[in-house]
């Protein structure tokens, strides 16, 4: 050290500061390893603003994160520029106020979420700074809850979920499962400023979230297809989104039609797609039908064993008993074993209408129940009713889970 250099330790990090200018000459920066070979390193920014009445200086003393280790150096540079700008700019409308701040961070999905933890202003004018941003580790995109995650209904939805103000719960911090809102209380009578928080899950915020946004997908890892008639709160949201993502079922004009009855053509086509069967040809089926190639694949793979003249009824709703025959054939193709007579009887006896399953479909129905593809509802199998499209989407996901 020289006569104009001081060694300063702050939050466990050592730095050397020019005592005349306040400039940091050298800092033994702290670093934090992340998964995937990434590292967060603490950097510092200081700015002199003026002198207080007691002769002490005030200004900016900010610690901010910088990222290293990303394979895409362009994305890394974009993220680091955004991080430095966020912390160097400080709270909105407070550029001439003193600022003492450090940071916190977490990786949520493919988003680096970073938040400020500091105090802006002096004495009784001091306020807490706890704002945050998210940076997409894949694209470098900058996300904030109000601009990137919430939909147009958010203001009214949040008004009904958050405690009434003032002070108000703002400064939303995103994570993979929800959003935390912070309420900042200013310094008063010598007490330090502080914050209180409320966390709401995405289930609670369902009416306020744009589930089709790049932000939500990056945070949660969600890759499904969102349909306007199957909102997040719908019991089949996850299943319909996933079967559409996998290409097993489709919608039209942004709608899935979850309550529509499943036709034989839809059931056969989706089963063929779920098994990744090559296109085939079914006798007596018009080649121009939208389902021709998939139905032909199912025919050639033996998925229509047990059906008499299946091409005659493909455009009609398919009863659950018939759908369970199709599913049982798919299970057998993947190595499942049929239940014996006694096991079959026991499995179907668990349902109030188990005895009404047609004799030719009893073994298939029992196999679907045993392997968890079909659970029934209200204690009944309803073998003569048709599945809705939403119900069959869930059955397909049950099959996917069984098949691994």
pLDDT in tens, the chain (404 residues): 445 566 666 655 566 666 666 776 555 568 999 999 999 999 999 888 888 878 788 888 999 999 999 999 999 999 999 999 999 999 987 777 888 999 999 999 999 999 999 988 887 778 899 999 999 999 999 999 999 999 999 999 999 999 987 778 889 999 999 999 999 888 877 778 888 999 999 999 999 999 999 999 999 999 999 999 999 889 999 999 999 999 999 999 999 999 999 999 999 999 999 999 999 998 888 888 999 999 999 999 999 999 887 666 788 999 999 999 999 999 999 999 999 999 999 999 999 999 999 999 999 999 999 999 999 899 999 999 999 999 999 999 999 999 77
**Same domain for 296 and 350:** yes
- For residue 219, being part of any structural domain is answered with no
Q: Which two tokens stand for residue 290?
A: 């939208």
> Are residues 266 and 202 located together in one domain of the fold?
no
pTM (two decimals): 0.76
Determine, yes or no, domain membership for 403.
no
One domain, residues 24 and 39:
no
Print the domain residue range for 314: 225-398
Q: Answer whether residue 368 is part of any domain.
A: yes
In a domain, 314, yes or no: yes
Largest CA distance in the chain: 98
Say if residue 1 is in the same domain as residue 124.
no
Shared domain for 98 and 192, answered yes or no, is yes
Asked whether 297 and 361 are in contact (CB, 8 A), the reply is no
Tell me, yes or no, whether 127 and 269 share the same domain. Answer: no
| Polymer length in residues for the chain | 404
Q: Nearest Cα to 326, choosing from 281, 245, 258, 392? A: 392
100 vs 285: CA distance, rounded Å = 75
Together in a domain, 255 and 382 = yes
Whether the bond into 310 is cis, omega within 30 of 0: no
State the Cα–Cα distance between residues 289 and 263, nearest whole angstrom: 14
Q: Which pLDDT value is given to residue 1?
A: 41
Q: Bridge-partner residues for 388, per DSSP?
A: 261
Query: Are residue 61 and residue 161 in the same domain, yes or no?
Result: yes
**Number of domains, the chain:** 3
CATH number at residue 144: 3.30.565
Q: Is 66 left (phi over 0), alpha (psi -120 to 50) or beta?
A: beta
Integer angstrom CA distances of residue 247 from 119, 217, 240, 259 = 51, 18, 11, 19
187 and 235 both lie in a single domain = no
Instruction: For residue 366, report the phi and psi dihedrals to the nearest 5 degrees.
Output: -65, -40
Rounded Cα distance between 332 and 369, Å, is 14
Residue with tokens 């009824």: 313
**Do 155 and 268 share a domain, yes or no?**
no
Same domain as 294, residue 394: yes
């Amino acid at each position: 050290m020289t006569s104009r250099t001081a060694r300063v330790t702050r939050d466990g990090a050592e730095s050397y500061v020019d005592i005349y200018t306040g400039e940091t000459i050298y800092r033994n920066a702290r670093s934090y390893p992340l998964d995937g070979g990434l590292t967060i390193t603490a950097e510092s920014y200081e700015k002199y603003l003026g002198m207080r009445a007691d002769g002490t200086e005030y200004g900016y003393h900010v610690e901010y994160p910088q990222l290293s280790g990303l394979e895409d150096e362009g994305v890394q540079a974009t993220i680091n520029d955004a991080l430095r700008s966020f912390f160097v700019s400080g709270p909105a409308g407070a550029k001439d106020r003193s600022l003492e701040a450090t940071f916190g961070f977490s990786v949520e999905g493919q988003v680096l979420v970073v938040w400020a933890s500091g105090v802006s202003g002096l004495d009784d004018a001091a306020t807490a700074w706890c704002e945050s941003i998210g940076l997409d580790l894949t694209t470098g995109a900058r996300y904030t809850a109000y601009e990137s995650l919430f939909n147009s209904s958010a203001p009214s939805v949040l008004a009904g979920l958050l405690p009434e103000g003032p002070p108000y719960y703002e400064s939303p911090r995103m994570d993979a499962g929800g959003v935390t809102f912070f309420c900042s209380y200013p310094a008063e009578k010598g007490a330090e400023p502080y914050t209180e928080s409320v966390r709401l899950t995405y289930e609670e915020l369902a009416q306020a979230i744009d589930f089709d946004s790049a932000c939500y997908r990056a945070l949660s890892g969600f890759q499904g297809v969102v349909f306007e008639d199957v909102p997040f709160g719908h019991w089949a949201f996850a299943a319909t989104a996933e079967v559409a993502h996998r290409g097993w079922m489709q919608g039209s004009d942004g709608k899935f039609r979850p309550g529509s009855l499943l036709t034989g053509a839809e059931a056969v086509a989706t089963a063929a797609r779920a098994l990744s069967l090559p296109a085939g040809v079914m006798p007596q089926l018009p080649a121009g039908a939208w389902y021709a190639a998939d139905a032909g694949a199912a025919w050639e793979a033996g998925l229509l064993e047990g059906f008499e003249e299946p091409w005659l009824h493909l455009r009609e709703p398919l009863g659950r008993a018939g759908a369970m025959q199709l599913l049982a054939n798919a299970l057998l193709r993947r190595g499942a074993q049929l239940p014996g007579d006694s096991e079959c009887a026991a499995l179907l006896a668990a349902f109030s209408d188990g005895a009404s399953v047609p004799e030719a479909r009893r073994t298939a129905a029992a196999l679907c129940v045993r392997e968890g593809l079909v659970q029934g509802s209200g204690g009944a199998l309803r073998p003569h009713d048709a599945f809705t499209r939403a119900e069959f989407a869930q059955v397909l996901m049950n099959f996917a889970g069984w098949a691994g």
